[in-house]
């Protein structure tokens, strides 16, 4: 019925709980993930992503400190998938981000936070774990650009490039002795 997506939604929180050892944090994460997955309103989904994303970042930090970069990769890939789901839900429910920016703004700001998190992880991750993180970073950059275009669609369309002009300096007053 639901296929691989349902299995993925069920398996990831269980996998996170088993791999991370922090049972309380994993329970909170799986609860937030379940609530996020069941939410149908795009704006609410974007606002829920803030809490879920922060919990995912905390779990990724714990996994990174223990040297478990496979779990870090899984968590950040799930974060990317959650951002994509929230973005699609917002666009479906409210395609005009310029007139109704609620949800778009929250999601875009959190994607920026996610990009900073990925950049930090890319600096410290062993070379063999960098390619999946780089793919996640590229996907987040694309999603961020899409959100910005939704929020500011007319900025690029109507404005011609500004002409390059030399800065004018005021004339030096003549000094008379």
Nearest to 135 by CA among 146, 144, 122: 122
Predicted confidence at residue 91, as pLDDT, reads 87
How much is the average pLDDT of 58-66? 94
- Is 12's pLDDT higher than 70? no
Predicted confidence at residue 100, as pLDDT, reads 75
- Output the furthest CA–CA distance in the chain (Å, rounded): 94
Predicted confidence at residue 157, as pLDDT, reads 52
- Is 141's pLDDT higher than 60? yes
How much is the average pLDDT of 69-97? 90
Type and span of the H or E element at 94: none
CA–CA gap between residue 157 and residue 154 (Å, rounded): 5
Torsion of CA 156, 159, 160, 162, to 10 degrees: -100
Report the chain's mean pLDDT, rounded to a whole number: 81
Predicted confidence at residue 104, as pLDDT, reads 82
Predicted confidence at residue 167, as pLDDT, reads 56
Answer whether 41's CB lies under 8 Å from 100's CB: no
Predicted confidence at residue 173, as pLDDT, reads 60
CA–CA gap between residue 22 and residue 16 (Å, rounded): 9
CA–CA gap between residue 76 and residue 98 (Å, rounded): 29
Backbone dihedral angles phi then psi of residue 118, each to the nearest 5 degrees = -65, -45
């Amino acid at each position: 019925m639901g296929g691989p997506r349902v299995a993925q939604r069920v398996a990831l929180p269980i996998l996170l709980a088993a791999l991370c050892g922090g049972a309380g944090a994993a329970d909170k994460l799986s609860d937030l993930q379940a609530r996020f997955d069941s939410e149908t309103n795009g704006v609410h989904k974007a606002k829920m992503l803030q809490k879920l994303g922060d919990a995912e970042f905390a779990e990724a930090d714990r996994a990174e400190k223990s040297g478990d970069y496979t779990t870090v990769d899984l968590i950040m890939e799930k974060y990317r998938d959650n951002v994509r789901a929230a973005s699609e839900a917002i666009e479906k429910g409210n395609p005009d981000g310029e007139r109704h920016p609620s949800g778009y703004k929250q999601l875009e700001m959190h994607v920026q936070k996610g990009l900073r998190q990925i950049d930090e992880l890319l600096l410290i991750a062993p070379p063999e774990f960098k390619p999946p993180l780089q793919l996640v970073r590229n996907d987040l950059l694309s999603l961020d650009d899409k959100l910005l275009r939704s929020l500011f669609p007319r900025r690029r369309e109507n404005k011609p490039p500004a002409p390059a002009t030399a800065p004018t300096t005021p004339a030096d007053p003549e000094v008379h002795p």
